[in-house]
Every structure is written in structure tokens, then in C-alpha cells.
Amino acid sequence: MIRSSLFVAGLATSLVALGGCSAPEPTSEKIDALTTKAEKAKAELIEEDAKVADLFSNAVGYAIFPDVTKGAWGFSGARGIGLVYEGSSPTATSCVGHGGIGFGLGGGTYKYVLFFNTQEAYDAFYSGKFGFNASATAVAGPHGKSADADFFKDVIIISNENVGLFANAEIGLHGFDTEPID
């Protein structure tokens, strides 16, 4: 009984995180707040690894999610709000949702950046397609390591843990929703 209840709770969490993701309406206040968070996250990533500056400079565009929150107990779910940039200009607000199954226990937050190396990859991001993902994560406190597989052609993904206590190995789906900035 308890096992089936945990299964249902985990599955529900994963589906809500994946399906309940909608990009916020891009009001000037929301864009300003997201821009501040995104620029801070970008600066922190570059400070940790100077080579990341080249990824930001050379990409056609990128989506940056400064605070993605993830939790797991067998099943996992994650959600975060961010901005999509073409070059150095924000073009859309975006939401990332994730649901997965595998070994997972704990919770945490992380920065998540997708670098689009071609115009086709950038354009495909707006289509709302899902991508398969396989990942392994270990986090304890403010320093964690993550290895994420690319799920779109011509996209580089960086995931950098902020804080948490988390162990995870899973197969899952990421879903994205974007709302263009007028």
C-alpha cells in the first residue's frame, strides 16, 4: 500500500513538473527581474569557468534558467523560469519542466543554460518539442556536479548546482514553453 502510494505521488510530481510549465507573460517588471537574475547567473558561470564566456559569445542564442528547483524520490520533477536570448538581446520568457524516473533522492536548485549553436536549433526551441534526457547528479551543499546529455542537435547544455542535497540517475523528459517578448 505504501509502495503504491509513493509510486503514485512520484509519478504525479513528475507529470505536474513536466506538464504544468508555462512561460510567464513578459511584462516589463517580469523581464527586468528575470534579466537581473539571468545576468547574475551568467556572471557566476563565467567566474567559475572562463571558457563559458566563449559559449555565450559564440552561440546564436541561449536560454538561461537561473533557479531551477528539482526534487526526487524515485521519480523526479523540476521547474524553472528563465529568459531566451538571441545574441545579447532577450527575445522570450521561458519555462522548463522536467519529469523523470530512475534512482533519485533529495532536492536542490541549479542554473540551467542551453546554448544554440545554429539558427535551426534556436528556432526549434520555440517549437515546443520535448527532448529525451539522461543525467547523473550528486549534490551536497553549495557545490555539485552534473552530467547532462544533449537532447537537441546543435545544443550545448550546462547545468550548475546552486545548493541542495541530492543524488540522481534517471531517464526523463524536458519540456519547454516560451512566450515571445513584443
33/178 Cα distance (integer angstroms): 17
Largest interatomic CA distance in the chain: 53
User: What pLDDT tens digit does each residue of the chain (182 aa) get?
Assistant: 444 434 434 444 444 444 567 888 888 899 999 999 999 999 999 998 899 999 999 999 999 999 999 888 888 889 999 999 999 899 999 999 988 888 778 888 889 999 999 998 888 887 766 454 555 454 444 544 444 434 456 888 888 777 677 676 777 777 888 899 97
Query: Per the confidence metrics, is the pTM higher than 0.85?
Result: no
Sequence-distant (6+) residues with CB within 8 A of 180 are: 26, 91, 92, 126
46/152 Cα distance (integer angstroms): 23
